[in-house]
Chains A and B, each alone.
Chain A
Amino acid sequence: EAGVAQSPRYKIIEKRQSVAFWCNPISGHATLYWYQQILGQGPKLLIQFQNNGVVDDSQLPKDRFSAERLKGVDSTLKIQPAKLEDSAVYLCASSTRSTGNTEAFFGQGTRLTVV
C-alpha cells in the first residue's frame, strides 16, 4: 500500500513570495490533514478535510494560507505571501474517517525555509 506522498521535500523562498505544497493521501482515505511543525514543537493542525469539505480550519491563518482538496483526493496548501515565521515542516496526513479513533498516516513532510 502506497503511503502519503508529499512534494516538494524541501523549499527555500524569500519572504513575501508565494509557495504551494502538494499532498496525495492514501487511496480511499476520506480525511486529509495539513499540519505545521515548527522546529522543537509538536504538529499544529492547520486544516482538516472530510472528502472535499473543510471540517476544521480554526488555526489556519486565512489572510495568507489557503488549502483546497478538489475531488476529495489530492490537496494543495498555499502560502501567499510568506513570512519568516512560516519556516517549518508542513506535514500532510490522511485517515479513513474523521473521528479521532482512527490512525492518521503521515507523509514525510515539506521543509520550508523562508529567508
Chain B
Amino acid sequence: AQSVTQPDIHITVSEGASLELRCNYSYGATPYLFWYVQSPGQGLQLLLKYFSGDTLVQGIKGFEAEFKRSQSSFNLRKPSVHWSDAAEYFCAVGAGNNRKLIWGLGTSLAVNP
C-alpha cells in the first residue's frame, strides 16, 4: 500500500541555520511528489513538486528538495531559515490511477530567534 512517512514530528532550528525535513514514501511506480506548507490558520500552500526529470527541484521561498529513488526519499531543504518559516510542513505523494494524494502526518517547524 502507498504511504508517506515524515519521521520528525517536531523540529526546532535557530534562525539562519540550515534545515532538512525528511520524507520517505512507499509506492511501486514512479511517484509524483509534493511538499506543502501550512501556516497557522491558513490553508495549504504548495512549496514544490517533482514529476520527472532533474531530481533536484527548486521551489518557492528558497526551498529545494531532492528525489532519491534508491532511498525512496524526497527531503526538503533550505540553507538559511527565517522566522517566518515556522509552520507545519507536509509531504505528499500522488498515487494510483487517479494520482490521489497520500499525505504524511506533517513536521512542525519552530524557529528560535
Question: Which residues 40-87 in A have Cβ within 8 Å of B in the complex?
Answer: 40-45, 48, 55-56
B41: nearest chain-A partner, CB-CB: A108
Residue B74 interfacial (CB < 8 Å) = no
Per-residue CB proximity of A73-115 to B under 8 Å, as 1/0?
0000000000000000001010000111101111111000000
Nearest Cβ in chain B — how far from A35, in angstroms?
Answer: 9
> Which B residues touch A43, using CB under 8 A?
44, 90, 101, 103
Q: With the chains together, A105 CA to B4 CA distance in Å? A: 20
How far does the alpha carbon of A98 sit from the alpha carbon of B99 in the complex, in Å? 8
Minimal Cβ-Cβ distance residue in A for B103: A42
User: In this assembly, does B11 line the interface, its C-beta being within 8 Å of a C-beta of chain A?
Assistant: no
* Residues A101 and B99 in contact, CB atoms below 8 Å apart: yes
Residues of B near A107 (CB, < 8 A) are: 43
Query: In the bound complex, how far is the Cα of B51 from the Cα of A108, in angstroms?
Result: 26
- Nearest neighbor of B51 in chain A, beta-carbon distance: A101
Residues of A within 8 A of B105 (CB): 40-42
Report the bound CA distance from A101 to B30 in whole Å: 12
Contact A56:B98 (CB < 8 A) given known A42-B90, A91-B44:
yes
Specify which chain A residues have a CB less than 8 angstroms from the CB of B101 in the assembled complex. 43, 45, 100, 104
**Which residues does chain A contribute within 8 Å of B90, judged by CB atoms?**
42-43
B43: which of A56, A100, A103, A109 is its contact (CB, 8 Å)? A109
Task: Using CB atoms and an 8 Å cutoff, list the residues of chain B in contact with chain A.
Answer: 4, 32, 36, 41-46, 49, 51, 90, 92, 94-95, 98-101, 103-106
